[in-house]
C-alpha cells in the first residue's frame, strides 16, 4: 500500500486547446501516476499543482513564528504557519513523492521553490544542533522515495553532459529532498524541447517509456 504525494510545478496546464502548449513535465508525471494507480495499491493520493496555485512566499513574520516555541505562538503566528503545517503533513504522510518540474532559467520555478521553503522547516523536517560540528542539520523524516520528472528546453544537463555545470534544477531538488526524508531518488528527464526536432521526440518518447517502467518497478 502506497501513499502518493504528487507535486506539479509547471505554469502550463497538462492539456491545452493547442497541444503544443501542453506541459511536458505534467504529462510525464501523469503517465507515471496513472501507471501506479492501475497496477498497485495506492491507498492515498494527494495532488498539488503549485504552478497554478503556488503557496505564499515566506517572510519575516513567518520566520518569527517558526522560531517561536509551539506553546508560545500567538493565534496570528499559528495562522501564519497554517499552510506550512498542512503542506508538511502531506509530506509526512507520503511514501512516494512525485515532483514534476520544467527547468526555468536553469533552475526550478519560483512556485516550486516556495513550496520547498514552506516545508523544509526546523523541528518539523530537520533538526539543528551545533554539537554536530560543521554539519549541524539532520533530517527528521526518512524512508521516502522521490520520483523527479523534469523537462528542459536544451540538453546535456546530465553528469558528464555539456551543460552539467548549468544544471541548477535537479541537483538543488536532490539536495533539498534529504531534508524531507527522501532516501531513494529516481529521475526521468525529457530534453531538446526548444529544438523541436527528432532528438526531442526521441527524448520524450523514451521518458514516457521510463515513467511506465519505473512505476512497475516501484510496485
Q: What's the pTM?
A: 0.96
pLDDT tens track for 120-148: 999 999 999 999 999 999 999 999 999 99
Residue 41 scores a pLDDT above 90: no
Closest C-alpha among 177, 49, 171, 58 to residue 114: 58
Please give the Cα distance from 216 to 219 (Å, whole number).
5
Residue numbers in the known binding site for FMN are 10, 23-25
Q: Distance of CA 1 to CAs 92, 94, 96, 183, 199, Å? A: 16, 11, 11, 18, 38
- CATH code assigned at 99: 3.40.50.360
Residue 40 scores a pLDDT above 90: no
What's the average model confidence in pLDDT over 40-60?
A: 95
Looking at the structure of the chain, the number of domains it has is 1
Q: What is the pLDDT confidence band of residue 209, given thresholds at 50, 70 and 90?
A: very high
Q: What is the pLDDT confidence band of residue 1, given thresholds at 50, 70 and 90?
A: confident
160: left (phi over 0), alpha (psi -120 to 50) or beta: left
Q: Which residues contact 198 (CB under 8 A, 6 or more apart)?
A: none
Domain holding 161, by residue range, is 2-218
Per-residue cell: 93: 504522510
**b (16+ CB within 10 A) / e for 156-193:** ebeeeeeeeeebebbeebeebbbbbbbeebbebbbbbb
The share of the chain scoring above pLDDT 90, in percent, equals 96
Please report the pLDDT score of residue 171 as a whole number.
Answer: 98
Residue numbers in the known binding site are 10, 23-25
Please report the pLDDT score of residue 93 as a whole number.
Answer: 98
Residue 219 scores a pLDDT above 90: no
Amino acid at each position: 500500500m502506497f501513499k502518493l504525494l504528487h507535486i506539479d510545478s509547471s505554469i502550463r496546464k497538462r492539456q491545452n486547446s493547442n497541444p503544443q502548449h501542453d506541459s511536458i513535465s505534467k504529462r510525464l508525471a501523469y503517465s507515471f501516476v496513472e501507471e501506479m494507480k492501475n497496477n498497485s495499491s495506492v491507498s492515498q493520493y494527494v495532488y498539488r499543482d503549485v504552478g497554478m496555485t503556488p503557496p505564499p512566499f515566506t517572510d519575516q513574520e513567518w520566520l518569527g513564528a517558526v522560531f517561536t516555541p509551539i506553546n508560545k505562538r500567538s493565534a496570528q503566528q499559528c495562522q501564519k504557519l497554517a499552510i506550512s503545517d498542512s503542506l508538511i503533513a502531506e509530506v509526512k504522510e507520503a511514501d512516494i513523492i512525485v515532483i514534476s518540474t520544467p527547468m526555468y532559467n536553469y533552475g526550478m520555478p519560483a512556485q516550486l521553490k516556495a513550496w520547498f521553503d514552506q516545508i523544509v522547516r526546523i523541528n518539523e523536517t530537520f533538526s539543528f544542533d551545533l554539537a554536530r560540528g560543521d554539519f549541524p542539520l539532520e533530517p527528521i523524516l526518512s524512508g521516502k522515495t522521490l520520483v523527479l520528472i523534469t523537462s528542459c528546453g536544451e540538453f546535456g544537463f546530465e553528469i558528464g553532459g555539456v551543460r552539467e555545470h548549468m544544471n541548477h534544477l535537479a541537483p538543488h531538488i536532490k539536495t533539498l529532498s534529504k531534508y524531507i526524508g527522501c532516501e531513494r531518488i529516481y529521475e526521468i528527464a525529457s530534453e531538446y524541447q526548444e529544438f523541436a526536432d527528432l532528438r526531442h521526440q526521441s527524448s520524450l518518447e523514451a521518458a514516457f517509456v521510463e515513467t511506465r517502467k519505473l512505476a512497475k518497478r516501484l510496485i
